[in-house]
Amino acid sequence: MENSESDVSSSLVWLNIGGKKYCTTVNTLTEREPASMLAAMFSGRHTLCRDPERGYVFIDRDGKHFRHILNWLRDGVVPTLKDSEYTELLREAEYYQLLGLIDGIHAVINKRKEGDELHTELTRTDIIKCIQSERVRFRGVNLSGLDLSKLDLSNVDFSYACLKNVFFSRANLQSAKFREVDAESSIFHNATLRECEFSGANLRGALLAGACLQSANLQDACLIDCSFCGADLRSAHLQNADLTNANLEGANLEGANLKGAKLNNANLKAANLQRAYLRHVDLRDTQLEGAKLDGANLLGAIR
Protein backbone atom coordinates (compact mmCIF):
# COMPACT_ATOMS: atom_id res chain seq x y z
CA MET A 1 0.00 0.00 0.00
CA GLU A 2 2.86 2.35 0.80
CA ASN A 3 4.41 1.75 -2.62
CA SER A 4 1.11 2.50 -4.35
CA GLU A 5 0.70 5.80 -2.48
CA SER A 6 4.30 6.70 -3.25
CA ASP A 7 3.79 6.04 -6.95
CA VAL A 8 0.68 8.24 -7.02
CA SER A 9 2.30 11.10 -5.12
CA SER A 10 5.44 11.00 -7.27
CA SER A 11 3.29 11.56 -10.39
CA LEU A 12 1.72 14.70 -8.93
CA VAL A 13 3.14 18.08 -9.93
CA TRP A 14 2.63 21.37 -8.13
CA LEU A 15 3.06 24.39 -10.39
CA ASN A 16 3.50 28.09 -9.72
CA ILE A 17 2.61 29.94 -12.93
CA GLY A 18 3.40 33.60 -12.36
CA GLY A 19 2.09 33.41 -8.81
CA LYS A 20 -0.99 31.22 -9.47
CA LYS A 21 -0.79 27.69 -8.01
CA TYR A 22 -1.92 24.55 -9.81
CA CYS A 23 -1.75 20.82 -9.13
CA THR A 24 -1.78 18.20 -11.90
CA THR A 25 0.04 15.02 -12.95
CA VAL A 26 3.03 14.26 -15.14
CA ASN A 27 0.77 12.23 -17.44
CA THR A 28 -1.52 15.23 -18.02
CA LEU A 29 1.44 17.43 -18.91
CA THR A 30 3.06 14.96 -21.30
CA GLU A 31 0.55 12.66 -23.01
CA ARG A 32 -1.75 14.80 -25.21
CA GLU A 33 0.99 17.08 -26.62
CA PRO A 34 4.19 14.99 -26.52
CA ALA A 35 6.12 17.50 -28.67
CA SER A 36 5.30 20.47 -26.42
CA MET A 37 7.61 22.42 -24.16
CA LEU A 38 5.68 21.16 -21.11
CA ALA A 39 6.19 17.54 -22.17
CA ALA A 40 9.90 18.21 -22.58
CA MET A 41 10.12 19.94 -19.18
CA PHE A 42 8.57 16.99 -17.35
CA SER A 43 10.22 14.23 -19.38
CA GLY A 44 12.80 13.77 -16.63
CA ARG A 45 15.61 15.00 -18.87
CA HIS A 46 15.74 18.55 -17.50
CA THR A 47 16.42 20.21 -14.16
CA LEU A 48 13.40 22.26 -13.12
CA CYS A 49 13.25 25.52 -11.18
CA ARG A 50 11.55 24.65 -7.87
CA ASP A 51 10.58 26.60 -4.78
CA PRO A 52 13.11 25.24 -2.22
CA GLU A 53 10.54 25.29 0.60
CA ARG A 54 7.35 23.95 -1.00
CA GLY A 55 8.67 22.26 -4.12
CA TYR A 56 6.51 24.15 -6.62
CA VAL A 57 7.85 24.18 -10.18
CA PHE A 58 7.99 27.85 -11.19
CA ILE A 59 7.19 29.06 -14.72
CA ASP A 60 7.48 32.78 -15.35
CA ARG A 61 4.26 33.28 -17.34
CA ASP A 62 0.89 34.90 -16.66
CA GLY A 63 -1.12 32.24 -14.84
CA LYS A 64 -4.53 33.63 -15.86
CA HIS A 65 -5.12 31.21 -18.73
CA PHE A 66 -3.12 28.24 -17.50
CA ARG A 67 -6.30 26.55 -16.26
CA HIS A 68 -7.45 26.47 -19.91
CA ILE A 69 -4.08 24.96 -20.85
CA LEU A 70 -4.56 22.22 -18.25
CA ASN A 71 -8.16 21.55 -19.29
CA TRP A 72 -7.02 21.20 -22.91
CA LEU A 73 -4.36 18.71 -21.87
CA ARG A 74 -6.92 16.78 -19.81
CA ASP A 75 -9.91 16.77 -22.17
CA GLY A 76 -8.78 18.05 -25.57
CA VAL A 77 -11.59 20.63 -25.59
CA VAL A 78 -11.03 24.25 -26.66
CA PRO A 79 -12.71 26.59 -24.13
CA THR A 80 -15.42 29.08 -25.08
CA LEU A 81 -13.94 32.55 -24.68
CA LYS A 82 -14.20 36.10 -25.95
CA ASP A 83 -12.15 36.93 -29.05
CA SER A 84 -9.71 39.05 -27.02
CA GLU A 85 -9.20 36.15 -24.60
CA TYR A 86 -8.49 33.76 -27.47
CA THR A 87 -5.67 36.09 -28.53
CA GLU A 88 -4.20 35.87 -25.03
CA LEU A 89 -4.65 32.09 -24.85
CA LEU A 90 -3.08 31.68 -28.30
CA ARG A 91 0.04 33.49 -27.10
CA GLU A 92 0.30 31.09 -24.14
CA ALA A 93 -0.29 28.06 -26.39
CA GLU A 94 2.49 29.29 -28.66
CA TYR A 95 4.85 29.71 -25.71
CA TYR A 96 4.18 26.16 -24.48
CA GLN A 97 4.26 24.87 -28.09
CA LEU A 98 0.86 23.21 -27.82
CA LEU A 99 0.30 22.72 -31.54
CA GLY A 100 -3.02 20.91 -31.16
CA LEU A 101 -4.46 23.73 -29.06
CA ILE A 102 -3.17 26.31 -31.55
CA ASP A 103 -5.00 24.46 -34.33
CA GLY A 104 -8.15 24.29 -32.20
CA ILE A 105 -8.15 28.01 -31.37
CA HIS A 106 -7.78 28.97 -35.02
CA ALA A 107 -10.57 26.58 -35.99
CA VAL A 108 -12.92 28.26 -33.47
CA ILE A 109 -11.92 31.76 -34.58
CA ASN A 110 -12.43 30.89 -38.25
CA LYS A 111 -15.83 29.36 -37.51
CA ARG A 112 -16.92 32.56 -35.76
CA LYS A 113 -15.93 34.53 -38.83
CA GLU A 114 -18.32 32.53 -41.00
CA GLY A 115 -21.21 34.78 -41.89
CA ASP A 116 -19.22 37.91 -41.00
CA GLU A 117 -17.92 40.21 -43.69
CA LEU A 118 -14.30 39.33 -44.38
CA HIS A 119 -11.88 42.07 -45.35
CA THR A 120 -9.75 39.75 -47.43
CA GLU A 121 -9.90 39.77 -51.19
CA LEU A 122 -10.07 35.96 -51.50
CA THR A 123 -11.39 33.01 -49.50
CA ARG A 124 -9.78 29.63 -48.80
CA THR A 125 -11.97 28.15 -51.55
CA ASP A 126 -10.71 30.77 -54.00
CA ILE A 127 -7.13 29.90 -53.07
CA ILE A 128 -7.71 26.19 -53.64
CA LYS A 129 -9.18 26.91 -57.09
CA CYS A 130 -6.25 29.17 -57.97
CA ILE A 131 -3.52 26.71 -57.00
CA GLN A 132 -4.87 24.18 -59.44
CA SER A 133 -3.44 26.32 -62.23
CA GLU A 134 0.21 26.07 -63.25
CA ARG A 135 1.47 29.51 -62.21
CA VAL A 136 -0.02 31.15 -59.15
CA ARG A 137 0.58 34.70 -57.98
CA PHE A 138 -1.00 36.54 -55.09
CA ARG A 139 1.35 39.52 -55.26
CA GLY A 140 0.07 42.44 -53.20
CA VAL A 141 -3.20 40.66 -52.31
CA ASN A 142 -4.78 41.02 -48.85
CA LEU A 143 -5.23 37.52 -47.40
CA SER A 144 -5.28 38.51 -43.72
CA GLY A 145 -6.80 36.00 -41.33
CA LEU A 146 -7.28 33.17 -43.84
CA ASP A 147 -6.83 29.51 -42.91
CA LEU A 148 -4.48 28.11 -45.55
CA SER A 149 -3.28 25.20 -43.45
CA LYS A 150 -2.25 21.90 -45.04
CA LEU A 151 -2.49 23.24 -48.62
CA ASP A 152 0.13 22.67 -51.31
CA LEU A 153 1.28 26.24 -51.98
CA SER A 154 4.73 25.38 -53.29
CA ASN A 155 6.23 27.95 -55.70
CA VAL A 156 3.35 30.41 -55.11
CA ASP A 157 4.33 34.10 -55.27
CA PHE A 158 2.94 36.02 -52.27
CA SER A 159 5.36 38.95 -52.61
CA TYR A 160 4.15 42.28 -51.14
CA ALA A 161 0.92 40.65 -49.90
CA CYS A 162 -0.74 41.33 -46.56
CA LEU A 163 -0.65 38.01 -44.70
CA LYS A 164 -1.33 39.11 -41.13
CA ASN A 165 -2.61 36.27 -38.92
CA VAL A 166 -2.73 33.82 -41.82
CA PHE A 167 -2.73 30.17 -40.73
CA PHE A 168 -0.15 28.24 -42.81
CA SER A 169 0.20 25.33 -40.36
CA ARG A 170 1.59 22.17 -42.04
CA ALA A 171 1.29 23.75 -45.51
CA ASN A 172 3.76 22.90 -48.27
CA LEU A 173 5.33 26.25 -49.16
CA GLN A 174 8.56 25.02 -50.68
CA SER A 175 10.18 27.69 -52.90
CA ALA A 176 7.28 30.09 -52.32
CA LYS A 177 8.06 33.81 -52.51
CA PHE A 178 7.25 36.07 -49.55
CA ARG A 179 9.37 39.07 -50.51
CA GLU A 180 8.41 42.21 -48.51
CA VAL A 181 5.20 40.61 -47.19
CA ASP A 182 3.51 41.75 -43.98
CA ALA A 183 2.98 38.42 -42.22
CA GLU A 184 2.89 39.66 -38.64
CA SER A 185 1.63 37.02 -36.16
CA SER A 186 1.06 34.41 -38.87
CA ILE A 187 1.31 30.71 -38.04
CA PHE A 188 3.79 28.56 -39.98
CA HIS A 189 4.32 25.77 -37.46
CA ASN A 190 5.41 22.48 -39.01
CA ALA A 191 5.19 24.06 -42.48
CA THR A 192 7.60 23.19 -45.30
CA LEU A 193 9.41 26.42 -46.21
CA ARG A 194 12.53 25.01 -47.82
CA GLU A 195 14.24 27.52 -50.17
CA CYS A 196 11.54 30.14 -49.56
CA GLU A 197 12.20 33.82 -50.23
CA PHE A 198 11.42 36.03 -47.19
CA SER A 199 13.82 38.90 -47.86
CA GLY A 200 12.58 42.13 -46.26
CA ALA A 201 9.48 40.43 -44.87
CA ASN A 202 7.75 41.46 -41.64
CA LEU A 203 7.24 38.26 -39.62
CA ARG A 204 7.08 39.90 -36.22
CA GLY A 205 5.52 37.54 -33.67
CA ALA A 206 5.10 34.73 -36.20
CA LEU A 207 5.14 31.10 -35.07
CA LEU A 208 7.54 28.92 -37.08
CA ALA A 209 8.11 26.17 -34.51
CA GLY A 210 9.02 22.89 -36.18
CA ALA A 211 9.08 24.46 -39.64
CA CYS A 212 11.56 23.34 -42.30
CA LEU A 213 13.44 26.44 -43.50
CA GLN A 214 16.47 24.79 -45.08
CA SER A 215 18.27 27.25 -47.37
CA ALA A 216 15.46 29.80 -46.94
CA ASN A 217 16.33 33.45 -47.58
CA LEU A 218 15.40 35.62 -44.57
CA GLN A 219 17.81 38.47 -45.25
CA ASP A 220 16.75 41.84 -43.80
CA ALA A 221 13.57 40.26 -42.41
CA CYS A 222 11.89 41.46 -39.20
CA LEU A 223 11.82 38.34 -37.01
CA ILE A 224 11.28 40.08 -33.67
CA ASP A 225 9.46 37.87 -31.11
CA CYS A 226 9.28 34.97 -33.59
CA SER A 227 9.29 31.38 -32.37
CA PHE A 228 11.60 29.01 -34.27
CA CYS A 229 11.69 26.31 -31.58
CA GLY A 230 12.92 23.08 -33.12
CA ALA A 231 12.89 24.59 -36.62
CA ASP A 232 15.28 23.41 -39.33
CA LEU A 233 17.26 26.45 -40.50
CA ARG A 234 20.25 24.66 -41.97
CA SER A 235 22.10 26.86 -44.49
CA ALA A 236 19.46 29.57 -44.07
CA HIS A 237 20.34 33.14 -45.06
CA LEU A 238 19.72 35.44 -42.09
CA GLN A 239 22.02 38.31 -42.95
CA ASN A 240 20.92 41.55 -41.23
CA ALA A 241 17.74 39.88 -39.95
CA ASP A 242 16.30 41.30 -36.71
CA LEU A 243 15.94 38.35 -34.30
CA THR A 244 15.44 40.44 -31.17
CA ASN A 245 13.62 38.37 -28.51
CA ALA A 246 13.26 35.50 -30.98
CA ASN A 247 13.03 31.97 -29.56
CA LEU A 248 15.34 29.59 -31.43
CA GLU A 249 15.69 27.02 -28.67
CA GLY A 250 16.68 23.66 -30.13
CA ALA A 251 16.69 25.03 -33.68
CA ASN A 252 19.12 23.61 -36.24
CA LEU A 253 21.16 26.50 -37.68
CA GLU A 254 24.04 24.44 -38.99
CA GLY A 255 25.81 26.39 -41.72
CA ALA A 256 23.39 29.32 -41.44
CA ASN A 257 24.64 32.82 -42.32
CA LEU A 258 23.87 35.30 -39.52
CA LYS A 259 26.19 38.09 -40.66
CA GLY A 260 24.89 41.38 -39.27
CA ALA A 261 21.90 39.73 -37.57
CA LYS A 262 20.50 41.32 -34.40
CA LEU A 263 20.30 38.73 -31.61
CA ASN A 264 19.44 40.92 -28.63
CA ASN A 265 17.86 38.71 -25.95
CA ALA A 266 17.42 35.89 -28.48
CA ASN A 267 17.08 32.37 -27.06
CA LEU A 268 19.53 29.99 -28.75
CA LYS A 269 19.67 27.45 -25.95
CA ALA A 270 20.55 23.96 -27.22
CA ALA A 271 20.59 25.29 -30.81
CA ASN A 272 22.90 23.72 -33.38
CA LEU A 273 25.20 26.51 -34.64
CA GLN A 274 27.90 24.28 -36.04
CA ARG A 275 29.67 25.93 -38.98
CA ALA A 276 27.35 28.94 -38.73
CA TYR A 277 28.65 32.33 -39.85
CA LEU A 278 28.65 34.66 -36.82
CA ARG A 279 31.49 37.02 -37.62
CA HIS A 280 31.22 40.35 -35.73
CA VAL A 281 27.76 39.42 -34.38
CA ASP A 282 26.94 40.88 -30.95
CA LEU A 283 26.18 37.86 -28.72
CA ARG A 284 26.36 39.61 -25.34
CA ASP A 285 22.61 39.37 -24.62
CA THR A 286 22.09 36.08 -26.45
CA GLN A 287 21.21 32.92 -24.50
CA LEU A 288 23.60 30.23 -25.73
CA GLU A 289 23.46 27.63 -22.94
CA GLY A 290 23.97 24.18 -24.45
CA ALA A 291 24.37 25.53 -28.00
CA LYS A 292 26.72 23.68 -30.35
CA LEU A 293 29.29 26.06 -31.82
CA ASP A 294 31.78 23.59 -33.31
CA GLY A 295 33.30 25.06 -36.44
CA ALA A 296 31.26 28.27 -36.21
CA ASN A 297 32.94 31.39 -37.59
CA LEU A 298 33.07 33.66 -34.53
CA LEU A 299 35.85 35.95 -35.69
CA GLY A 300 35.22 39.37 -34.16
CA ALA A 301 31.98 38.26 -32.47
CA ILE A 302 31.21 40.17 -29.25
CA ARG A 303 30.59 37.71 -26.38
* 56 pLDDT more than 80: yes
At 135-168, the pLDDT tens digits run 678 888 899 988 899 899 999 999 999 999 899 9
Residues 16 and 42 in one domain: yes
Residues 227 and 271 in one domain: yes
CATH code of the domain covering residue 264? 2.160.20.80
Q: How far apart are the first and last CA of the chain?
A: 55
Residues 79 and 128 in one domain: no
Residue 303, classified by CB atoms within 10 Å of its CB into exposed (0-12), middle (13-18) or buried (19+), is: exposed
* 35 pLDDT more than 90: no
Residues 76 and 203 in one domain: no
* 176 pLDDT more than 80: yes
What is the pTM assigned to this prediction?
Answer: 0.65
At 256-266, the pLDDT tens digits run 999 999 999 99
Residues 223 and 295 in one domain: yes
Residues 137 and 96 in one domain: no
Residues 258 and 144 in one domain: yes
At 182-241, the pLDDT tens digits run 999 999 999 999 999 999 999 999 999 999 999 999 999 999 999 999 999 999 999 999
State how beta strands 57-59 and 20-25 pair: unpaired
**Domain range holding 263?**
119-303
Residues 109 and 126 in one domain: no
Residues 203 and 251 in one domain: yes
At 199-213, the pLDDT tens digits run 999 999 999 999 999
Residues 174 and 212 in one domain: yes
Measure the CA–CA gap between 244 and 43, rounded to whole angstroms. 29
Measure the CA–CA gap between 302 and 284, rounded to whole angstroms. 6
Residues 46 and 166 in one domain: no
Q: DSSP characters for 123-181?
A: -HHHHHHHTTSSS-B-TT-B-TT-B-TT-B-TT-B-TT-B-TT-B-TT-B-TT-B-TT-
Number of domains into which the chain is organized: 2
Residues 85 and 214 in one domain: no
